Amino acid sequence: MSEKKIATTAVRAGINSDQHHGAVIPALHLSSTYALKGFNEKRQFDYSRTGNPTRATFARAIAELEQGAVGIVTSTGMSAVHLICQLLNTEDTVVIPHDCYGGSFRLFTHLAKRGQFNLVVVDQNDQTALSEALAKKPKLVLLESPSNPLLRLVDIAAITIQAHNVGALVAVDNTFLSPALQQPLLLGADIVFHSTTKYINGHSDVVGGVLVAKEQALGEELAWWANCIGITGSAFDSYLALRGLKTLPIRMKQHQINANAVAAFLQQHSAVERVYFPGLSDHPQHELAKKQQYDFGAMMSFEIKGGVEAVKVLFDKLKFFTLAQSLGGVESLISHPSTMTHAGMEIEAQLAAGITQSLIRLSVGIEDIEDMIDDLSQALDASQA
């Protein structure tokens, strides 16, 4: 499927599938259980933890968008990550990036501490460290690109080849871009997963996750575990996320227009020390972003002059950027990684990762771009007074 087909797939998911009434939009099936046709005569669905028509429609849509064989809808993004851990035995090794999502970092480090697998944490752009990690013949290599909050990229195709050479499975967290802007399975990965809480649902009213396996057998094994441990997503959340999904490609277009404008504005503002955005030509992986992504995304971060005092004034003066964690909704959000998303990290570890007190993260929404720039402009000016 080419990139231009994504909008069609997103919009048409589940449409015209109702055999009984011809309902254009697929129904929301809340029933927990399904009647058998007769003795030992099951229908397609029997119990909603195992399978639900609404969830199945959403799962098929995401699998098609990511071009994998099997989609699994989970209760949260974290339960999608946890589902992958079901593939691991105590003697297995897992390689994760040093700057992966904080919740993923917490899950992998705490499960490893309890002896569920061996863990190697590396900077995956450090080829020596990566090669040493791969020499341990890991079962799984986790990738996340771009990373949070500094928008660092890793070369998904190149690392996947190296990982496959040592027999590892590759799973990619694609939350920051969505399948509209990056398709890791086409870059060689075996598993792609998302927090649908972010761009896929896009309206900040669902917490959910999804995982897609490229191959049928791996997908079936993961689907078996999802039912076994009971982490499948609810019908209602699936209904809402499927509704949000229809506008994903068009939302991403506007997110992109706005993000490009905000990044250019920030870069020339005297209150801004530095902007981290893959779309800027001075971003160290700008060329890689152009190669492996369809566009740059709408997440960015920047350092403000004047330290934490300036940060406080900025947050206080902004009207159209809400001070909140999370990302990927139609509304613009602003956050302070050091005291919010990354507060669980020691200050020394934060600094080692490049997270300073002056670092601010933006999830650029789809409001009117002039309003957003005007708002940022007055608040940045005030922050330097």
Ligand X SMILES: *Cc1c(COP(=O)(O)O)cnc(C)c1O
Question: If binding is defined by CB under 6 A, does position 244 make contact with ligand X?
Answer: no
Question: If binding is defined by CB under 6 A, does position 29 make contact with ligand X?
Answer: no
Alpha-carbon torsion (275, 277, 281, 282), positive or negative: positive
* Total residues binding ligand X (CB under 6 A): 15
Q: Smaller CB distance to ligand X: residue 76 or 125? A: 76
Question: If binding is defined by CB under 6 A, does position 207 make contact with ligand X?
Answer: yes
Residue nearest to ligand X (CB): 77
Question: In the bound complex, what is the minimum distance in angstroms from residue 175's beta carbon to ligand X?
Answer: 4
Among 173, 190, 237, 295, the active-site one is 173
Q: Name the residue among 189, 226, 187, 188 with its Cα closest to residue 209.
A: 226
Catalytic residue check, 101? yes
The H or E element spanning position 210 is: strand 209-213
Catalytic residue check, 92? no
CA–CA distances in Å: residue 31 to residues 17, 55, 267:
18, 12, 52
**Helix, strand and coil in the chain, % to nearest 5:** 40, 15, 45
Alpha-carbon torsion (126, 127, 128, 133), positive or negative: positive
Catalytic residue check, 205? no
Q: Smaller CB distance to ligand X: residue 173 or 295? A: 173
Q: Smaller CB distance to ligand X: residue 219 or 297? A: 297
User: CB–CB of 180/252 below 8 Å?
Assistant: yes
Out of 72, 78, 133, 380, which residue is the one contacting ligand X (CB under 6 A)? Answer: 78
Hey, what are 192's tokens?
A: 């792609």
Question: If you search the block for the tokens 């080419």, which residue do you land on?
Answer: 2
Q: Smaller CB distance to ligand X: residue 54 or 197? A: 197
**Footprint on residues 185-204 left by ligand X (CB under 6 A):** 195, 197-198
Among 55, 99, 101, 199, the active-site one is 101
CA distance 382 to 385: 5
Out of 52, 96, 101, 275, which residue is the one contacting ligand X (CB under 6 A)? Answer: 101
3-state secondary structure of 192: strand
Question: If binding is defined by CB under 6 A, does position 103 make contact with ligand X?
Answer: yes
Q: Tell me the window of 35-43, 86-94, 98-106, 183-191 that interacts with ligand X (CB under 6 A).
A: 98-106
User: CB–CB of 170/190 below 8 Å?
Assistant: yes
Question: If binding is defined by CB under 6 A, does position 293 make contact with ligand X?
Answer: no
Cα angle at 277 between 309 and 317, to 5 degrees?
30
Question: If binding is defined by CB under 6 A, does position 155 make contact with ligand X?
Answer: no
Among 49, 136, 137, 319, the active-site one is 49
Question: If binding is defined by CB under 6 A, does position 277 make contact with ligand X?
Answer: no
Q: Smaller CB distance to ligand X: residue 245 or 313? A: 245
User: CB–CB of 62/206 below 8 Å?
Assistant: no
Q: Tell me the window of 99-107, 156-164, 263-271, 366-374 that interacts with ligand X (CB under 6 A).
A: 99-107
Out of 26, 53, 71, 77, which residue is the one contacting ligand X (CB under 6 A)? Answer: 77
Among 55, 139, 198, 251, the active-site one is 198
Question: If you search the block for the tokens 């309902």, which residue do you land on?
Answer: 23
Catalytic residue check, 34? no
CA distance 147 to 310: 25
Q: Smaller CB distance to ligand X: residue 200 or 272? A: 200
CA distance 148 to 267: 19
Hey, what are 277's tokens?
A: 């955005």
**Footprint on residues 315-374 left by ligand X (CB under 6 A):** none
3-state secondary structure of 6: helix
3-state secondary structure of 194: strand
- Residues forming the site for ligand X (CB under 6 A): 76-78, 101, 103-104, 148, 173, 175-176, 195, 197-198, 207, 209
Catalytic residues: 49, 101, 173, 198
